[in-house]
Amino acid sequence: MNKQTLFELLQQQGITRRGFMKYCTALTSLMALPPSMIPIVANALESARRPSVIWLSFQECTGCTESLTRSHSPTVEGLIFDHISLDYHHTLQAASGDAAEHAREQAMKDNYGKYLVVVDGSIPLGDPGYSTIAGISNLDMLNETVAGAAAVIAVGTCSAYGGLPMADPNPTGAVSVTSLIKDKPVINVPGCPPIPTVITGVLAHYLTFGSIPELDELGRPKVFYGQSIHDRCYRRPFYDKGLFAETFDDEGAKKGWCLYRLGCKGPMTYNACATLKWNQQTSWPVESGHGCLGCSEPNFWDAGSFYKALSIPDGDYAKAAGYAVATGVAVGAAAGFVNRKTKSTAVSQHTKVTVDDFELNKDKK
Amino acid sequence: MSSEALADIKIQVEAPEYDSGNLHSILSEIKFALEQLLEQKKTHSIDLRAMPWSPGEEDKLEQYLGRGEISVELNALGKSTFYESRFSGIWIVTHYNQEDEIIGKLIEITTMPEMIFSQYEDIKESLENIQIQP
Amino acid sequence: MEIFSTANDFLLWVRGDAFNIALTILIIGVFIRLMEIFLLGRKKDFSEPRGTEWGPGLKNIVTRSVVDNGTFKRAPFVVVVGYIWHICFFIVLLFFVPHIELINAMLGIKWPGLPSQFVDAATVIAMVSLIAMLWHRLTHPVLKFLSTYEDYLVWFVTFLPLLTGYIAFHRMIDPYPLALGLHILSVELLMVVFPFTKLMHAITLFIARWYTGAMMGRKGIES
Ligand code: SF4
Ligand code: SF4
């Protein structure tokens, strides 16, 4: 089933060389590679084989899958049914129950050592019963499935970094995929949800080159997560000029000024929203007038209010300050009285120097 | 949602009254590439999707480049349009998928986009298929 | 040992617990020092003074900011560079918008900020003047003799926030949360050291000037 190369498959569908080149152009753009790479992509695709993909959904909200199915270029149906072989995805697949699990096992057996595992959602370690599929705990299913995988793609902030389930106080003891899988390459594709074209772009990279793109220190592909939102934000000139919106409907907001003061986390967030945008490149959060939440960063749920500027500490500093003032006054008062005592003792012990005290010297002279 | 329905929503985007620098940098790139094309016959393409456009900026670029004498439509895996801008050697290429959604948009600095030529692979196929007596 | 698994964890910590700790130490420290000064008190004055204390006291706080000619003639370098340093430092501290946001969140007051290019330039000038002052301290024999380790510590903790702030603003360390975290941490170091070193002059200078002014404003015999 996976023996055919992608090119042969396209040829069978009666797609011309032009069609193939067009496909390569779209794919190159999707992978965020420069157009000069189109011939290389075409070359690689001629011998590329459709990888088998097993998609595991753990503690998640299905937002990532929803996002994926809104990926437009090339259409997700095209990508899924023609160019990868999605053998297991319990939300999207028709089969259910035993039949579904059987499909997973079969795919693992047939493609042992070569298939891709995509994970969305975090894994609860608190109690395996918090999340199970077909009676198998998430942890067991992950370990079992990943054992024969070529690589793992952690889609969404939950599987990449723990995400919402891991947010304080982390009731289920949720952890990320990377904290569990140490012996296989893991590609993190964070975002809440990730940009759909980024999900497909990463899949396309694996499909085209059969390799893993260059990753940053948080395991994210550099082509998509190499630059911060702030670096590519079109409102940046306003930030530099010191022009900020202070409410969501003031003059500054209407003029499109920078949203830093309204809590924009763009400066610390690495993602591709500013270029790839959302909804068929219609717009993106900052363009619609709302600050970036930092959704592609670890712990973003715990990083304080979405509407507080990044420079504001997020602890309970008012309380700390209150206690500190009280303690300071008390200790200071004590120290003050001790000093006073020292001072008055010094004063009382002080003997005045009189002319007589200098007599000795006079004599010597 | 199809792109048509999106376009139907009458929203007015006010172009911000400042310069993000995007137009300046892309036009410089285009101009440099045009020089290279003239002197060394070197072609160049720019992926317009990779630009951090501000609202309305991309339209502004297209308006400036305008439309020239020639346009071509291709039908392979959905529609594609190629047209030369009012500046000779600068082509605007848009690829759509079968659902008419844009899947690629480029500016090509070339005498003619590669894809418009008949492709030798396809010609070979034609040769095999063509029958002398139809 | 894995204290912070990511730069974000580190940033979270410096913005959270570390800030609270630093703030607590700063406030306790400052209050201890202030209470010590105030409770030491001055001798009771039994005679009735002519003139008041408040006016001249407050006036002195302002007027002493102007250099007197003698000092200038004796140490023009210290005066000029000292002024440049302080002015630039306050521009950076009080007119960079992220700083204003912090002050607003903590004290509920705000004012317009300056474009970042100005703040950036002020940062560079402040750093250069600090380096110049260190150089002066190290090359001037008398100054060098008089300097204690505290002087160098104070220089260091003052310089660090400027440097890390500059690095963070220009995003010279990757990833940014690490750069920003280092900047905030360096400020927290300054906060902790502040009450227990001569940095405290930023507060005590007002008290000292007021006392001097008040004494000068007082006319008549003191008993
Ligand atoms: S809106 Fe956000 S990302 Fe854009 S310049 Fe302002 S702070 Fe940076
Ligand atoms: S703008 Fe920020 S919060 Fe919004 S989707 Fe992009 S990375 Fe996530």
Contacts of A170 (CB under 8 A, 6+ apart): A126, A162
- Spell out the CATH class of B22-116: alpha beta
* B and A touch per CB criterion (3+ pairs under 8 A): yes
Contact residues, A window 179-198, toward C, CB-based 8 Å cutoff: none
On the question of pLDDT at C46 being above 80, the answer is no
Task: Tell me if A231 is assigned to some domain.
Answer: yes
Say if CB C206 and CB C221 are below 8 A apart. no
Interface residue A313 vs chain C (CB under 8 A): yes
Q: Which atom of ligand 1 is nearest to the CA of A258?
A: 6
Tokens of B102: 């844009």
Cis status of the peptide bond prior to A193, with omega within 30 of 0: yes
Contacting residues of B for A34, CB less than 8 Å apart: 47, 50
| A292 close to ligand 1 (CB < 6 Angstrom) | yes
Among B77, B125, B129, the residue to mutate for chain A (most A Cβ within 10 A):
B77
Going by their DSSP bridges, the two strands A149-155 and A186-189 should be labelled as parallel
Whether residues A213 and A235 share a domain: the answer is no
Q: Which of A75, A256, A282 is the closest to B97 by Cβ?
A: A75
Within a domain: C48 = no
Structural domain contains residue A344: no
Could you tell me the pLDDT band of residue A263, with boundaries at 50, 70 and 90? very high
Question: Last residue of some domain: A170, A202, A225?
Answer: A225
Let me know whether A161 and A99 are in one domain.
Answer: yes
C129 within some domain: yes
CATH code, domain with C203: 1.20.950.20
Give pLDDT, residue A75. 58
A216 and A234, same structural domain?
A: no
| pLDDT mean over A9-22 | 83
**What is the average pLDDT across C110-114?**
89
Rounded to whole angstroms, the Cα distance separating B95 from B80 reads 4
Pick the residue from chain B with its C-alpha nearest to A24. Answer: B104
Residue C49 maps to a domain:
no
From CA B63, how far away is CA B106, in angstroms rounded?
15
User: Do A148 and A13 share a structural domain?
Assistant: yes
- Phi/psi for B97 (5° steps) reads -95, -175
Cα-based angle A119, A125, A131 (whole degrees, multiple of 5): 60
A109 within domain boundaries: yes
Rounded to two decimals, the pTM is 0.82
Q: Within this chain, do residues A144 and A87 fall inside the same structural domain, yes or no?
A: yes
What is the pLDDT at residue A364? Answer: 47
Residue A20 distance to chain B (closest CA, Å): 9
Confidence of residue A3 (pLDDT cuts 50, 70, 90): low
- Report the domain count for chain C: 1
Backbone angles phi, psi at A272, to 5 degrees: -105, 10
Q: How far does A328 lie from chain C, in Å, by closest CA?
A: 4
Atom in ligand 1 nearest the alpha carbon of residue A244: 6
| Rounded CA separation A227/A345 (Å) | 67
- Low-confidence winner among A122-126, B99-103, C132-136 (lowest mean pLDDT): B99-103
Nearest chain C Cα to A218, which residue?
C6
Taking CB atoms and an 8 Å limit, are A73 and B103 in contact across chains? yes
Residue C175 belongs to what domain range?
7-35+60-217
pLDDT tens-digit map of C50-101: 667 777 777 777 777 777 777 777 778 888 999 999 999 999 999 998 999 8
- On whether the CB atoms of residues C203 and C61 are closer than 8 A, the answer is no
Which chain B residue has the Cα nearest residue A223? B50
Residue A361 has pLDDT above 70, yes or no: no
**Nearest C-alpha to atom 5 of ligand 1 is from which residue?**
A236
C1-31 residue pLDDT tens: 345 678 888 898 898 889 999 999 999 998 8
Looking at the structure of chain A, the number of domains it has is 2
**Local confidence band at A267 (pLDDT 50, 70, 90 cut-offs):** very high
Task: Please answer yes or no on whether B54 and A287 come within 8 Å at the CB atom.
Answer: yes
Asked whether the predicted pLDDT for residue A76 surpasses 70, the reply is no
Spatial CA neighbour of A218 closest among A193, A188, A192? A188
A51 Cβ below 6 A of ligand 1: no
C-alpha to C-alpha distance for A255 and B16, rounded to whole angstroms: 7
Residue C170: is it exposed, middle or buried by C-beta count within 10 angstroms (0-12/13-18/19+)?
Answer: exposed
Classify residue C45: in a domain, yes or no.
Answer: no
Residue C40 falls inside a structural domain: no
Task: Report if residue A349 sits inside a domain.
Answer: no
DSSP string, B24-77: HHHHHHHHHHHHHHHHH---EEEEGGGS-PPTTHHHHHHHHH---S-EEEEESS
* Domain membership flag for residue A203: yes
A291, part of any domain = yes
Starting at the edge strand that comes first in sequence, how are the strands of the sheet with B71-75 ordered? Answer: B44-47, B102-109, B90-96, B79-84, B71-75
More confident site: B101 or A121: A121
Q: CATH number of the domain at A306, please.
A: 4.10.480.10
pLDDT at site C184: 94
Say what the pLDDT of residue C164 is.
Answer: 96
For residue A128, is it within any domain?
Answer: yes
- Is A107 a pocket residue for ligand 2 (Cβ < 6 Å)? no
Q: Within a domain: residue A353? A: no
Which domain does A16 fall in, by range? 6-225
- Contact of B13 with chain A, judged by CB distance below 8 Å, is answered with no
Q: Which DSSP letter does residue A78 get?
A: I
ipTM of the complex: 0.85
Structure confidence at residue C129 as a pLDDT band (50, 70, 90): very high
Q: Over range A219-239, report the average pLDDT.
A: 92
A73 vs B104: CB contact, 8 Å cut-off?
Answer: yes
Q: Which of A33, A71, A73 to mutate to test the interface with B (most CBs of B within 10 A)?
A: A73
Tell me the CATH number at A22: 3.40.50.700
**Which chain A residue shows the shortest CA-CA distance from C9?**
A299
Cβ(A259) – ligand 1 distance below 6 Å:
yes
Residues A212 and A271 grouped into a single domain: no
- Locate tokens 């007589």: which residue? A356
C-alpha span between A139 and A125 (Å, rounded): 8
CB burial string C12-43: b at 16+ within 10 A, e below: bbbbbebbbbbbbbbbbbbbbbbbbbebeeee
Per-residue confidence (pLDDT) for residue B97, from 0 to 100: 84
Scanning the structure block, which residue is given the tokens 């893991």?
A186
Domain stops at, among A193, A225, A257: A225
CB-CB neighbors (< 8 A) of A242 in chain B: none
Mark whether A253 and A295 lie in a shared domain: yes
Which atom of ligand 2 has the smallest separation from the CA of A292? 2
Closest CA to ligand 2's atom 6: A273
